[in-house]
Amino acid sequence: MPISIDLDALSSGVGAQKERMVADIEQLARIESPSDDKAAVNRAVDLVEGWAEALGCRVKRYRNLNDGAQTFGDVLELKLSPARRNAGKPLLLLGHLDTVWALGTLQAMPVVRRDGRLYGPGVYDMKAGVVMAMTALRVLKEQELLNRPVTLLLVSDEEIGSTVSRPITEKLALQSSEVYVLEPAQQPHGAYKTARKGVGGYRLEVRGVAAHSGVDFTAGHSAVLELARQIEVIAGFTDLDRGLTVNPGVIGGGTRSNVIAESAWVEIDVRVARKADVGRIERKLRGLRPFDRKCSLQLTGGLNRPPMERTPGTVALFRRAATLAARLGFDLQEAATGGGSDGNFTSALGLPTLDGMGAIGQGAHASDESILIDALVPRAVLLTAMVNQG
């Protein structure tokens, strides 16, 4: 690590931005941006694009993103480079501008400062992280300390699986040296995330034979009964020691209580800590066979995000961050989480990936979503110092 890094200069530079950071997060959170509303997300993209242009970033905006069935908000790629050439491979910063909150949420969950916190939809996950990244770039540019090219990629479909942004994320990751993800830090003490489980989603459809439950009971083969038996088997695939969980979370089936059910279904959430278990659980689910031979099973779905394993490259990044945090006067912990992020994609490509570098707070996807205002500056200083290393 270069010892020349001037943390005092970075601290005072970021400290001077504190009020602006809070105001920018408020402004961004007041633009509601649910993933499934292209026009709404694009209003948030517009705001950040304006900030980036004012900062002198090269801006590329990916438009017309769709998966054939649905259109998505734009993806924003922002690049900032040091004056000197040959500064090496870029650092990739990853964030998202979409939230899980529907239009109109602000009425019940207004953006307000109270008791040292800033509340509002999307402040913690992860509009504060976006503003922290913009702040880091601004301070490094103003102080002429930017010593490597930086790409900041902000996607608009993270909360719904990153289907259309994933190829862009992966392309940029492969051009980069390492990846920092601006997702919220782990509750309650703000640990950085060095491991995330992979996430899969499956649906099992059961087809039976319908019959009148009074007139013709024995002619029926109940899809509901078959599903009930299958759910026991599916739940049994959970292996807590390996960090593998299988949750049959939503079920449906049948039409009326006097009809032997012709169809039933279950939606299954799968979380995998180890890459080696991905194929194993997939094979087990594909290997399900009906107990009642007159019923048939059909499985759809698959793994959406591969696991982000705690690789040596990621650990090295974390150690660097923890050392810097100690010099800044606070203790930085690391954590693993069952939730996925776009860091899962970059880590699976072999890129050292450090996650949870955004705000400290609470209530992601919950009505008490908020960030700790006083933690913004120290965390943004640490992020700025990390961007400055390279």
Contacts to Zn ion by CB under 5 A? 125-126, 183
Tell me: cis bond preceding 386? Omega within 30 of 0 counts: no
Query: Which of residues 127 and 221 has its CB atom nearest to Zn ion in the complex?
Result: 127
Query: Which of residues 147 and 162 has its CB atom nearest to Zn ion in the complex?
Result: 162
Phi, psi torsion values for 211, nearest 5 degrees: -160, 160
N- to C-terminal Cα distance for the chain? 8
Report in angstroms how near the CB of residue 383 gets to Zn ion at its nearest.
16
Give bridge partners of residue 253 from the DSSP assignment. Answer: 264
Report in angstroms how near the CB of residue 7 gets to Zn ion at its nearest.
28
Query: Which of residues 161 and 290 has its CB atom nearest to Zn ion in the complex?
Result: 161
Report in angstroms how near the CB of residue 234 gets to Zn ion at its nearest.
28
**Could you identify the residue written with the tokens 């996430």?**
199
3-class SS at 66?
Answer: strand
Nearest to 158 by CA among 109, 209, 196: 196
Report in angstroms how near the CB of residue 183 gets to Zn ion at its nearest.
5
CA distance 73 to 90: 25
- The helix (H) or strand (E) run that includes residue 136 is helix 128-142
Range 47-85 burial, b when 16+ CB lie within 10 A, else e: bbbebbeeeebeeeebeebeeeeeebbbbbbbbbbbeee
Report in angstroms how near the CB of residue 125 gets to Zn ion at its nearest.
4
Query: Which of residues 134 and 285 has its CB atom nearest to Zn ion in the complex?
Result: 134
Classify residue 228 as left (phi > 0), alpha (psi -120 to 50) or beta: alpha
CA distance 95 to 158: 9
Report in angstroms how near the CB of residue 128 gets to Zn ion at its nearest.
11
C-beta nearest to Zn ion: residue: 125
**Could you identify the residue written with the tokens 């899809």?**
223
Query: Which of residues 98 and 262 has its CB atom nearest to Zn ion in the complex?
Result: 98
Relative orientation angle of helices 128-142 and 18-29, to the nearest 10 degrees: 140
- The helix (H) or strand (E) run that includes residue 135 is helix 128-142
Query: Which of residues 362 and 389 has its CB atom nearest to Zn ion in the complex?
Result: 362
Query: Which of residues 183 and 355 has its CB atom nearest to Zn ion in the complex?
Result: 183
Query: Which of residues 121 and 253 has its CB atom nearest to Zn ion in the complex?
Result: 121
Report in angstroms how near the CB of residue 96 gets to Zn ion at its nearest.
6
Report in angstroms how near the CB of residue 100 gets to Zn ion at its nearest.
9
Q: Provide CB contacts within 8 A for 140, sequence distance 6+.
A: 146, 384, 387, 388
